[in-house]
Amino acid sequence: MAAAAGAWLRGCAKLRRHMAAHLAPWRISPCAFRSSKSELKPNVASDGLACAPLQTFTEEEAMLKDMVTKFAQERVAPFVQKMDENAKMEESIVQGLFEQGLMSIELGEEYGGTGASFFSIILAVEELAKVDPAVALVCELQNTLTNKLFTTYGTEEQKRTYLPRVSKDTLGSFCLSEAGSGSDAFSLKTRAEKKGDYYIINGSKMWISLAEDAGVFFVMANTDPSLGYRGITCFVVDRNTEGLQVGKKEDKLGIRACSTCPVTLDNVKVPESSILGQVGQGYKYAIGMLNTGRIGIAAQMLGLAQGCFDRTVPYTKERVQFGKSVFDFQGMQHQIAQVATQLEAARLLTYNAARLAEAGRPAIKEASMAKYFTAEVATLTTSKCIEWMGGVGFTKNFPIEKYYRDCKIGTIYEGTSNIQLSTIAKFLAQEY
């Protein structure tokens, strides 16, 4: 017995000698508990800042949230079913978004904007998405892509020319994806050839949101293919430019009221002054804008899921089976509680990413986490809501099936879920 025990102990000692340090039992590696690492909080006395719950809003943010909620209920809700059936955005809604300042939330007043916070954009998108995710997408893209591209990289002349327009009545459209470059976005084939003081652009774009009604396009084209993605440059192209043609819009599963079209550029001649930022920096601009845009899409998916949930739970309390409401069955209560918890977690991820971005702090990983998780939660929530509603949830008499269709794009556009996971993993590899 003693001999056997001694042999076992010697075996354990040998195993420990050959075991990698980070696998050794109870040994703390240098990077362990990184997720619990503390950061210094702002000094209240010197910075005038205080730590507050993520769902604490400024007075301005709270007022904007209430205003958007009212706008969505009164101006958007009556047209949702019609817009989905006809795959056409109601013009009065887009006009209303401009009139209410919801298309220029972060823009300065000198350009016709409201000068509000980035977080206000997230709140607006979330509230609109509770009623119609397609309308929310119009607001999201205008604020997080069109406006930010101009304010971040535009020349003073470009800002003076375009910002008053995009804050008043002009939609922008971001042209990056192509038939052969989806997730591999920087393998795009659209070419911009320099001819004196102007460029000739040739190529085709696909899956371009808002293209049907946009007045200005951000076209990503390669000025020097020999440099690979480092030749990609962003050009600002007006809709009426000769050679730019918007094709027939796609007949989509969801987000039907918001147009998605191919865009063809056939010998489109633009002046050198139409370059946004610097030659060869377009890939950086695309990455930067999409990182911010992903927080906006997270807000859209969050609002979508919450809107679907809010419409479904009251029904479960009204629907009576076996002598009591469906909600009163413990099995149903547990499912509803689980989804509610997922929604709260999704909201906190989204708000945290938004606050980080607003503060100018790195938020690439957090943005990817928010977009990935909210898309997953939206998929779960809408599917469960149909089940909880039963047969009526499967009909078009109720909006639940529309939320179900609308949410699927959340795992695809502005970076697929797998792309988000790869981004998150890349940062984790650096951290550990």
Please say whether the beta carbons of 418 and 373 come within 8 A: no
318 is an active site residue: no
101-105: long-range contacts, CB 8 A cutoff, minimum separation 24 = 101/167, 102/68, 102/71, 102/128, 102/139, 103/138, 103/139, 103/142, 103/143, 103/166, 103/167, 104/142, 104/143, 104/147, 104/163, 104/166, 104/167, 105/64, 105/143
**Helices of type H across 112-192:** 118-131, 133-141, 147-153, 156-168
3-class DSSP state for residue 291?
helix
Active-site entry in 106, 126, 140, 414? 414
202 beta partners? 191
- Count CB neighbours of 24 within 10 A: 11
Token pair, residue 137, equals 């997408």
What gap in Å lies between CA 371 and CA 300, rounded to an integer?
9
Which residues, in sequence order, are bridge partners of residue 218? 174, 236
Positions annotated as catalytic residues are 414
